[in-house]
Structure 1
Amino acid sequence: MLQEEGPIRFSKIMSTALITMYLGFSAAINLSGALAPLKSFIQRFLQWTELLDPTNLVVSIEKIEKSRQLLLTHEDASGSDLEDKRVQEAWKRSLSTVHPDSSKLIPGPFRPAALLPFTAPMVFLSMLPVKSLKSMILPQVSFYTYSTVFNIVNGNASYDRRPHESILVGAGVIASSTFFGLFPRLFQVRFSLNSILSRNVIPVVILAQLSGMNVVASRSLEPLRGIEVMDKEGSVIGYSRKAGTKAVKDTATSRVVLFGTSAFIPEVFSYFFKRTQFFLQCPWSLWTLKLSCTILVMGLMVPVSFSVFPQIGRIQCSELEKEIQSATEETELFYNRGV
């Protein structure tokens, strides 16, 4: 099992590492010099393509522990030590498997690399034509259950929360998300609606909007209790509800982009494919094309959506609570946005 000694120390190192990872491990990097390049979407995208490596789902606890111990003994890993490939691999392995706030191991099914293989089939099944409401219950329940747990596990964990609070919030979010996801399908079956709007457009819009609302609801404790904000040295200045609101809002926006695009593009391809001669000869090929298209689009959109906003978010001190402004002379503070 992962050792739990020094969680605060390791959490600070991990927070610094999140910034360092987006810079491509260049030499002689320090925290203050690392902040400007965070604006580069391309750098974040390239780093996420590495962190989303499927092998991170099956890496052993022993290897993760070795990576952790290596980083703990290389506190200056943001400098010249990054030229060491062992240190580079240790950062990648740690960032993809260990939570940056709590320094706890992220369960394999809920690591960032697991989002694509778990949700792509669910999105595909959720967008299939409705034959009966019963056929839609399992895909909707599965999708929103997984999304809710993923959002809670990978959200900011710097505030105090009890296990039963997460369970109660998660159960409520799963139930409400599933209900609103099935509601338009119920109308479609009940009134035999078969237009393009009701069959293709509305389900995509509902899926995208509910994916964003799922983030807002499942991480609702962050804006209520506030999350840690830090200066450029990594020192915690205080807890900010406004930073928590911004973190949740940005993540929700990225989910809307991810699932909205991943559901919309296969629908467009399917619409035109059904008018080809090949479809008339092989109608079964539609589902193969749609599933393949969903996986390919999501394979691109997952790193894109994770890269839209930096995981280490910035916020102007003037936008924060007065007690935080009075506690520091910094003009800009930082927080973990979560995934």
Structure 2
Amino acid sequence: MKGENKSSATYFVLQGLSDVPEIQLFLFFSFSTIYFLTLLGNSAIVTAVHGDRSLASVPMYTFLSHLSFLDMCYTTVTFPKMLLTLILGDKTISYTGCFTQLFFFISFGQSESFLLAVMAYDRYVAICCPLHYMDIVTQRFSVYLTVFSWSAGFLNSALHTGLAARLTFCSPREIGHFFCDITPLLKLSCVSTMLNEIVIYAAGVFVVLTPFICILVSYVYIIHVILNIPSAKGRHKTFSTCSSHLTVVCMFYGTVLLMYMRPSSYAQAHDKIFALLYTFITPLLNPFIYGLRSAEVKEAFKKMRKKDTCCKGYLHPKSSCFAY
């Protein structure tokens, strides 16, 4: 049977990370550790921001907490299934499970693209228009920007997933990846995927290129303002307020460009390596970047530790430990 329609395609087979049995256990423990650290680091950022009133009231840190939450969701979409595949050896994934994974993977990834652009705009206003920052980036406006970031990612993902679900898939249904991504999934289609590809490129301009251009324009203005600051200390202090975000932007878009904007001859050999970078390594490093570079976040961590120490010591609620 050359082709099967979507009603009879009840499962797909994931190629996985490796077919070598000797390293499966090593990969399982390695990626389990990465997953645990990713959840721990990003949940610590979320807890620190929302546990400190002074940070929770600042839009920049509200955006940061959403970025950390997105990273936790982003990795959770792919990690559990990959770990089960490594430890159990079962590479099959149901038709529904595959498209559910695809939908949320695209949703969270593209929402992060918009959120990074929103954070760049926030830094632009804070540095280039500091006197009007509170009037421009209000609490209500920051909520609108956050809702837009999430909604745009999910709506665009619904479009891609819906179009892909209408395709007819051929046997064998082996996806040349360790999770259900749109590009390897389209390669299994028995019918033309021209419409899907057109939509992918057209939507890519909106969900990837447009936010990236917004980030570039924002940092052109930011760098121009920083260079015009007379003192070296002032330039360093101003740049430090956006250095964490700039580092995360370079990591996120750098790995995405490595994945999708390279010679096609490298596609099969390096797909999994580049995918590991932007699905696992970037979310893992984000909380460490912000935690180490942001004095306010580090101070919030200290308060959390102090509160935890006080609670463990069963101190009286009126103690200074509860004054935060």
Normalising by structure 2, what TM-score?
Answer: 0.37
Q: Which has the higher contact order (CA 8 A, sep 6+)?
A: 2
Structure with the higher helix share, 1 or 2: 2
